[in-house]
Amino acid sequence: MTNNDAGAPVDPLGEALHFLRMSGVLYSRPELTAPWGLELPPLPDHMMFHVVISGRCWLEVQGAEPSVLQAGDFVLVPHGDGHRLLSEPGVAAANLFDLPRELVSERYEVFRHGGGGAPTTIVCGVVRFDDPTAQQLVRLLPSIIRIEASSSPEMDWIQSTLRYMAAEARELRPGGETVITRLADILVIQAIRSWIAQDPAAQKGWLGALRDKQIGRAISLIHRNPDHPWTVASLASEVAMSRSAFAARFTELVGEPAMHYMASWRMHVALTWLKEDKVTLAELASRLGYQSEAAFSRAFKRFMGVSPGAVRRNGEATSDARTLMSATTNSP
């Protein structure tokens, strides 16, 4: 058994959901009057969401038919794809980040836009997950997750949260922006949990493998102990399977062999740490089970196609949505 294994959870999927802790980048409350249109450019490695507080609007996403969002509807764009919000299809759209705004706090802003007609109020947000387990989960999400105001009774808790958020957005009492951002974070996480519970696509692949008692346990061990010198035989022993049965079942459920998954996992952990932490490459190599910095650097470049040093040099400039917003706003 591994040293860190004594308190290992019996539910690997629950463990993955535990890591759904977000870094809020920006929250805004557009107050809009028809005709109006908002263009949201792509924000790689970030999630965007919108809650219609009052009124209605149209959502346009490339590759999909335009759809109507009513008051109380919530939509999540998990992969940061560019999209539009419009009072009606065909309306000209302004880049959201070009519009003048009023800062309520460091990460919460209000702005007004439109032609003076029918009003619509929306709460928008840009967030990201920094933990590698959460990022792995997010990569599996569909391009859009939508929760409608007319959803089934099981979704009543979401509607209660939306109503509370709407009240705070309308009144914006002292500290109201903090309440709104916290509620928004909860909505994002619960929307993901709802998708996992209800969508057939979430029952397959990596998420489906997490539900398997033995393979899910093996995945959890790899995640929690990336520095351990795992082999197919040692993982099989940990989950009480024969080596051959474990190897076949892991590949069948996850879609790749266990050792390839472990190498991939280590590289994704490394990518996150390179962007966010100040550890040296030697420390990073040790944390991930490599005998030397050189061995780690070779493995990273072979897997990612770029050196760890290059990722570190570019990490801050590419990982923060606020930088991307600024670049969008200042582009000719």
pLDDT number for residue 154: 55
Residues 231-254: tens digit of each pLDDT: 999 999 999 999 999 999 999 999
In this prediction, residue 181 has a pLDDT band, given cuts at 50, 70 and 90, of confident
- Residue with the bigger pLDDT between 332 and 22: it is 22
326 band by pLDDT with thresholds 50, 70 and 90: very low
Q: Which amino acid is at 46?
A: H
Confidence of residue 201 (pLDDT cuts 50, 70, 90): confident
Contact indicator for 209, 253 with CB cutoff of 8 Å:
yes
Taking each helix axis as running N to C, give the angle between helix 243-254 and helix 213-224, from 0 to 180 degrees, rounded to the nearest 10: 90
What's the predicted TM-score (pTM) here? 0.77
Contact 96, 50 (CB under 8 A): no
Distances (CA, A) of 331 to 82, 95, 97, 128, 325: 16, 11, 11, 24, 10
The rounded distance, in Å, linking the Cα atoms of 25 and 321 is: 7
How large a percentage of the chain has pLDDT more than 90? 47
pLDDT at 153: 58
Domains (ranges, CATH) in the chain? 3-12+205-319 (1.10.10.60), 19-203 (2.60.120.10)
CB 101 within 8 A of CB 109: yes
**Residue type for 17, please?**
L
Q: One-letter amino acid identity for 168?
A: E
- Quick one: how far is CA 286 from the chain centroid? 28
Position 84 scores a pLDDT of 98
pLDDT at 324: 45
Residue 50 has pLDDT above 50, yes or no: yes
The DSSP bridge partners found for residue 24 are 127
Residue-level pLDDT at 277? 66
Higher pLDDT, 94 or 313: 94
C-beta separation of 38 from 123 below 8 A:
no
